[in-house]
Chain A
């Protein structure tokens, strides 16, 4: 079991190619950086513990359909589909361009994090000199390079910036993937706060101001599951305490205190 989860770096790049700025060419490798550390479970058959698998079943005659007979359908209206052959779609897949084209440089902090999608670590590919040059320049200026990349079947806007002595590439969302909050009428008709109230609010915020520290946060659900897994591996019997309701929590506090006292006796 992993203890406090530091993520091990992958040794396999998910993409190799070149970054181009005008005439400058920088060969790079792309490594995954973000892992969603959920705990994954496999579905098993309860009675014999055997793994279960998925099959595609035709909704009309309940027959299992082999992959060769699978097509993709685009729903035009309810139950009306335009049929695409899987090969047909593969043919028009965006060209897996081996190039990240940089179009401009912006202030890194001016980009709204709302648009951030996923981050990757860029590694030099026998190009240490140029890599460290770009890294140092971005660092000094607090700038990020804006460009485009095609990963698998999708083209993304990207931002490249300096992070802990490396170049990090972040794929971005398109503006049409993000809802503008002002679409909500309720938000367009908010009350103007009174100055006095605003002063108080400002004061509270100042008093409670601090540094953001991600280490303060921990996924309690994941932690509990890891504890149970540890116990199960050791063959201990698990009694699961269902998440107590608010009122039961107080009773649990009293219970712990009493159990402690009774133990002393």
Chain B
């Protein structure tokens, strides 16, 4: 018992974070401890952004890019200069279990990742499709659109990975060898979106059309330097503690209920559909 399992000092473990389900901070930390073997390799060397809810998800949360005051010295950070804001930001790198636990203890409920790693920050290693259904369109329609996108990517010989957003939509990622610019990947996603609008009248691919009822927005705009997306396996700050969950395409084909992918079920889930995503970076 003299060994020390973690450098993190736990605080306020009994605080309720998800009031509807009475989920405590302890359960959130336990979730991130248990999911660590699946999430850590994806977070590795990405300048993450936190969405923190110190007083639970029903109270106001905040996004945090800069490592907060009191960040322990053992937490790795990377300083990035933003040309647009002309400011330096000290991003956190979550490269180890202790940092992940420390973030959970900070009630960083949501972890958001950029589409590139710090080694080649201006060259994305992920191409990202955000499929966002506007009610009354639902996950069912989003699923249909995701399969259309997969089909197009397959035809181009690109292997793609899908996850739930943890909210109402779906995310598709194509892992690539970092070489094209964000401008190129953004254009690529936009073009596929535009093709789909011609084939399926539910699909829209321009920002101005997003809020039209019943439409599915294929968002390409996140493919930009400095933008972030919800990390796979990140909890989402929604009442039922849903998880942005990597799925098999076969599960998508059968039809899914996003509510089934939550803090309780994902800990027990054996499937790890994105296991080899980083080993499958493709030529683009």
B153 → A minimal CB distance (Å): 29
**B14 close to A (CB within 8 Å):** yes
Are the C-beta atoms of B13 and A239 separated by less than 8 Å?
Answer: no
Q: Which residues of B contact A87 (CB under 8 A)?
A: none
Digit string of A239-259 for contact with B (CB within 8 Å is 1, else 0)? 111000101101110111111
Digit string of B10-24 for contact with A (CB within 8 Å is 1, else 0)? 100110000000000
Complex-state Cα separation, A133 to B118, whole angstroms = 88
**B3 close to A (CB within 8 Å):** yes
B27 → A minimal CB distance (Å): 9
**B180 close to A (CB within 8 Å):** no
Complex-state Cα separation, A239 to B5, whole angstroms = 11
**How many positions in chain A have a CB within 8 Å of any CB in the partner chain?**
23
Could you tell me which residues of chain B, from 149 to 178, have a CB within 8 Å of some CB in chain A? Answer: none
**How many positions in chain B have a CB within 8 Å of any CB in the partner chain?**
19
Are the C-beta atoms of B34 and A257 separated by less than 8 Å?
Answer: yes
A38-46, A137-145, A193-201, A223-231: which lies at the B interface? A223-231
B218 → A minimal CB distance (Å): 35
Q: Which residues of A contact B97 (CB under 8 A)?
A: 258-259, 262
Q: Which residues of B contact A251 (CB under 8 A)?
A: 10, 13, 26, 29-30, 33
Q: A254-B30, A254-B34, A262-B97 are in contact. Are A241 and B10 (CB under 8 A)?
A: no
Q: A254-B34, A258-B33 are in contact. Are A241 and B26 (CB under 8 A)?
A: no
B99 → A minimal CB distance (Å): 13
Q: Which residues of A contact B30 (CB under 8 A)?
A: 250-251, 254
Complex-state Cα separation, A265 to B33, whole angstroms = 16
**B4 close to A (CB within 8 Å):** yes
Complex-state Cα separation, A178 to B101, whole angstroms = 53
Q: Which residues of B contact A238 (CB under 8 A)?
A: 2
**A110 close to B (CB within 8 Å):** no
Q: Which residues of B contact A247 (CB under 8 A)?
A: 13-14, 26
Q: Which residues of A contact B192 (CB under 8 A)?
A: none
B134 → A minimal CB distance (Å): 39
Complex-state Cα separation, A258 to B281, whole angstroms = 27
Are the C-beta atoms of A248 and B33 separated by less than 8 Å?
Answer: no
Q: Which residues of B contact A252 (CB under 8 A)?
A: 5
**A2 close to B (CB within 8 Å):** no
Are the C-beta atoms of B36 and A248 separated by less than 8 Å?
Answer: no
Q: Which residues of B contact A257 (CB under 8 A)?
A: 34
Are the C-beta atoms of B37 and A255 separated by less than 8 Å?
Answer: no
**A79 close to B (CB within 8 Å):** no
Are the C-beta atoms of A241 and B14 separated by less than 8 Å?
Answer: no
Could you tell me which residues of chain B, from 36 to 85, have a CB within 8 Å of some CB in chain A? Answer: 36-37, 40
Are the C-beta atoms of A240 and B13 separated by less than 8 Å?
Answer: no
Q: Which residues of B contact A250 (CB under 8 A)?
A: 26, 30
Q: Which residues of B contact A175 (CB under 8 A)?
A: none
Q: Which residues of A contact B10 (CB under 8 A)?
A: 248, 251
Q: Which residues of A contact B1 (CB under 8 A)?
A: 224, 241
Complex-state Cα separation, A254 to B30, whole angstroms = 7
Are the C-beta atoms of A265 and B37 separated by less than 8 Å?
Answer: yes
Complex-state Cα separation, A239 to B3, whole angstroms = 7
Q: Which residues of B contact A231 (CB under 8 A)?
A: 2
Q: Which residues of A contact B33 (CB under 8 A)?
A: 251, 254-255, 258
Are the C-beta atoms of B13 and A241 separated by less than 8 Å?
Answer: no
**B6 close to A (CB within 8 Å):** yes
**A261 close to B (CB within 8 Å):** yes
Are the C-beta atoms of B34 and A248 separated by less than 8 Å?
Answer: no
Q: Which of B5, B37, B40 contacts A256 (CB 8 A)?
A: B5
Q: Which residues of A contact B37 (CB under 8 A)?
A: 258, 261-262, 265
Are the C-beta atoms of B26 and A224 separated by less than 8 Å?
Answer: no
Sample (24) of A-B pairs whose CB atoms are under 8 Å apart: A224-B2, A228-B2, A231-B2, A238-B2, A240-B2, A241-B1, A245-B13, A247-B13, A247-B26, A248-B10, A250-B26, A250-B30, A251-B13, A251-B30, A251-B33, A254-B33, A257-B34, A258-B33, A258-B36, A258-B97, A261-B37, A262-B37, A262-B40, A265-B37
- Measured CB to CB, the residues of A under 8 A from B are 224, 227-228, 231, 238-241, 245, 247-248, 250-252, 254-259, 261-262, 265
Q: Which 8 A-B pairs have the closest CB atoms?
A: A254-B33, A261-B37, A255-B5, A239-B4, A247-B13, A258-B36, A254-B30, A247-B26
